[in-house]
Structure formats: C-alpha cells, structure tokens
Amino acid sequence: MSSMREYPYPSKSEVRWVSPDWLDDNMEDVRIIDAQPNVHDYIMGHIPGAVYMNEGLLRVARRRQPASFVPAESIEVIFRSMGISGDVPVVVYSGPGVYSRCAAGLGDGLEQTMVAYALVRFGHRMVHILDGGIESWMESGRKLTKEFPDAQEGSFRSEIRREHFVEMEELKSIMGREDVMLFDARPTPSYEGQSMWVKPGHIPGAHSLPWRRLMTENNSRLLRDDEELRSLIGGFDLEGKRIIVYCGTGREATNEYLFFKYYLGHPDVRIYEGSFTEWSSYPENPTVTGPNPR
C-alpha cells in the first residue's frame, strides 16, 4: 500500500479508495462486493462478508454497441438481489483469482473500477474501492473465507446519472474545442495503429494515456504513489478543461474516469461509454494513426 496516501482517500467524495485496515474496521457498516473475474475465484476464497458479482451482468448489446450498459430497471433488480441499498456504503474489490490465473486475459484489475463506475452511474453515492484489491487484504495478514453471506434483499433505487458520460453526437459537437481534453485509455499499440477494431488508430485529438500506467507494476488494482501519479499527468494542461476519457468498449476508461473525477477531484470529467468500438463502426467517423493526437 502507498505510504503517502491516507485512507479513505479523498476524505469526502462519492467514490473513495480505502485500505484493508479501514475495511476491517468498518465491515459491519458496508456491503462488500467481490468482483473477481470468475465465480470460482470467489468460491475458492473471498473477503468475509463479500457477495459475488460478475461484471458481465452490467452490459448487453444495443444498436451498434455490443457492450452497452443494461437498462436502469435491470440493474436495480441485480443490485437489490445482492443486498445493495442506497443508504449503505459499498466496497468493491477484485483480484487475479486463483481459478482465473489459468485463463489468459482474466483478472486484469478493471473489474473493480467497472463495478464502481456502474454503481455511481446508476445512482449510488457512497462507493469505496479497496486499493490493491484482494492482494492488499492478504498482504496485510488477513484471511479469506469460503463461507457465503446471506444476501438479504436491498432497497436500491436506480437512477441514470447522465452527468457522468457523453454520447457520440455530443462528443462530436465539442471534441474540437480548446477547453476539451480527450484521453484514450487503451494500450499504446492500439492507440497508434491497427488493432482489433475495423479502423486503426484513435479518435482525432485524443491523447494517449494507457490506464495501466496509473497502477503499480506488480498489482493492477493498486494505484501508484501520489508523486508518481501527479508526475504522470503533469505534462497535460488540465486547468479549466472538460476531460473526456474513452477506450475500446468503455471498460478501461472507467479506471481513468474515477481517477480524474474522484481521486484528483477534477470538476468536469465525462466518459464516452461507446468508446472506439462505437466510433469506428461509423464509416464517416475519422481516425488518426501514429503517436500524435492529430
């Protein structure tokens, strides 16, 4: 864990990062969500009191988007069945998973930011992320359990908070303005050239900021120290800017969205949920290749 950060961080915010010590001291007052990549990971070991949620429940196909957020009424049923209520704080964590270590590509660390973003997007206002995930819990000397808690029905009421995201047409109308800063959270090769998408490169004007750079080398669920994070973004002039983040399908961007909006407290941050998957599916939408935004 970072020795430079005092938890919970920030002290007052809808989304805060917490430590194992904080979680251990507050377990009776929160609902804990285990977002490990596979339910078998959860079965093999989870933090006591945690209920399981697979992030795949959050998205379905809609129009040209193969992975769009489910309707509000659907997420309300899901969150209530997990025992989530709007007046009870939620703590989300993930991990590489004992079971998922055998499956390539699982356990990348984004499960916890994806679920945390979905919670605030659909109306929750007391969301906590366990900095370092399940590894930090175990490294602090605490044990996992195989016992399943009784998830009583919650009273969560879903509310789509549109101030958190932009749609494609709105992005088109503002992306050329000097007061708009666009970030691409995908890995550098995807940003610069041809990847899995039908078009190569990135959205015109977007700066490359791979989400993994925000996290420590050995733990993709643990944020870097404050000094490293501020050095990483120090080259960008963010003062007075509206920040918009995107990635491939909107998943990687949740990490940077939460970082800019809640960790840094930037006053105007949005996520383009359709991201490059939606953008590149329209022939008329231009893209740029190479290392430069334009």
Of 214, 247, 258, 271, the active-site residue reads 247
Neighbouring residues of 139: CB distance < 8 A, sequence distance ≥ 6 = 1, 132
Closest CA to 64 of 245, 259, 232, 197: 197
Q: Tell me how many degrees the CA angle 283-287-292 measures, rounded to the nearest 5.
A: 175
Largest CA distance in the chain: 55
Cross-strand pairs, 208: 184
247 is catalytic: yes
Please, how many CA atoms are within 13 Å of residue 72, restricted to the half-sphere of its CB?
Answer: 12
Of the candidates 54, 52, 219, the one whose C-alpha atom is nearest the C-alpha of residue 135 is 219
| Residue numbers annotated as active site | 247
